[in-house]
Amino acid sequence: MTLSNQPKFRHAATLAAIVLLAGCTEQLRKAGIDENSLKAAGAVATSMSKSEATPAEESQIGQASASILLGAAPLVQDREIQTYVNQLGGLLARQTGRKDINWRFGVINSSNVNAFAAPDGYVFITKGLLRTVNDEAELAGVLAHEIAHVVKRHYLIAMRKKDTTGALTNLAATSAKTAGVKGSELAADPLANVAQNMYSSGLDKGDEYEADRLGVVYATRAGYDPYGLPRVLNLYATKAGSNGFELLFSTHPSPQDRLAELDKAMGDKLTAYEARSVSDSKAFQQIRNKAGRVPDPRR
């Protein structure tokens, strides 16, 4: 049974809506609503009115979102590939100044060329992307772009905007009423639907442009060629309509638009970093070649 079908939850959520509208609880007491129900409704109302999720709620949303991504294709079963990407991702994540995020990076066994992130520090790239980028600076630029989405909570905010079923409100209410109790099974289905809708439609253009700008900054701070991400965008521009790139182009602004926005932001400000930055490594080329030999998952 999903959250929306729980009679007790519907009662608390209805009370919460009344609390939000009324601004007080005295009339509810006069109507015979008991004190425990009022406290629960008050907690739900507080959660419903918050602009941001609590860490526990964000963790639950992140898990549901990551499950959607891994449900489409599993992780590559290769420890060396996964360790390499986690080490590179960790280096880039440290440039954000955020020490409160539990970062987790993974390579999905899909030949499509794409990258994804989810709330609470999940970042995934596809096997197809890993074997398509040319050097480590390009991979760093893509990972840094996805890291920026997490730091700025773009996916979480997008899910709130696209949540027409109240799944995130339901999650907040459940968390308020059952503090310390795991509710992932209870909220899995409605959360999965919200996440699926968000990944199918993609983020706003403004979010993508902001992640591009911050991605360049994070990669440069880590010592990588600042033009790694622009080179990837230029590669995308040449691959429009190519096999494996379809999903990427359906959920992102055009690479030409992203390049134009990055050019406005970067100008020649980062040119001095280019000469003394890292563009490639032997480790990257080994991992890239290894990813090219990974078979697609069995259907």
Secondary structure class of 115 (helix, strand, coil): strand
**111 and 74 fall within a common domain:** yes
Q: What integer is the mean pLDDT of 226-230? A: 96
pLDDT given at position 268:
84
CB atoms near residue 296 (< 10 Å): 11
**150 and 127 fall within a common domain:** yes
CB atoms near residue 148 (< 10 Å): 24
SS percent in the chain: helix, strand, coil, step 5: 65, 5, 30
**26 and 120 fall within a common domain:** no
Domain count, the chain: 2
pLDDT given at position 59:
86
**10 and 92 fall within a common domain:** no
Please check whether residue 19 lies inside any domain of the structure: yes
Nearest-10 crossing angle of helices 228-238, 255-266: 150
Please check whether residue 160 lies inside any domain of the structure: no
Q: What integer is the mean pLDDT of 225-233? A: 95
> Which two three-digit tokens encode residue 120?
């609470």
pLDDT given at position 166:
58
DSSP class of 5:
G
Please check whether residue 115 lies inside any domain of the structure: yes
**30 and 148 fall within a common domain:** no
- ∠ CA 284-291-281 to the nearest 5 degrees? 5
Single residue among 29, 49, 69 that ends a domain in this structure: 49
- Mention every residue, 6+ apart, whose C-beta is less than 8 A from residue 235: 132, 133, 134, 138
CB atoms near residue 24 (< 10 Å): 8
**216 and 109 fall within a common domain:** yes
**44 and 71 fall within a common domain:** no
Q: What integer is the mean pLDDT of 82-100? A: 97
Q: Are strands 122-126 and 104-108 parallel, antiparallel or unpaired?
A: parallel
- Long-range contacts made by residues 36-40, C-beta under 8 angstroms, separation at least 24? 37/11, 37/12, 40/12, 40/15, 40/176, 40/177
Q: What integer is the mean pLDDT of 53-62? A: 82
How far is the C-alpha of 276 from the C-alpha of 224, rounded, in Å? 9
**60 and 140 fall within a common domain:** yes
- ∠ CA 218-216-222 to the nearest 5 degrees? 35
- Domain extent for 16: 1-49
Please check whether residue 194 lies inside any domain of the structure: no
Do residues 229 and 141 lie in contact, with contact meaning Cβ atoms separated by under 8 Å? yes
Min mean pLDDT across 10-19, 219-228, 241-250, 285-294 is at: 10-19
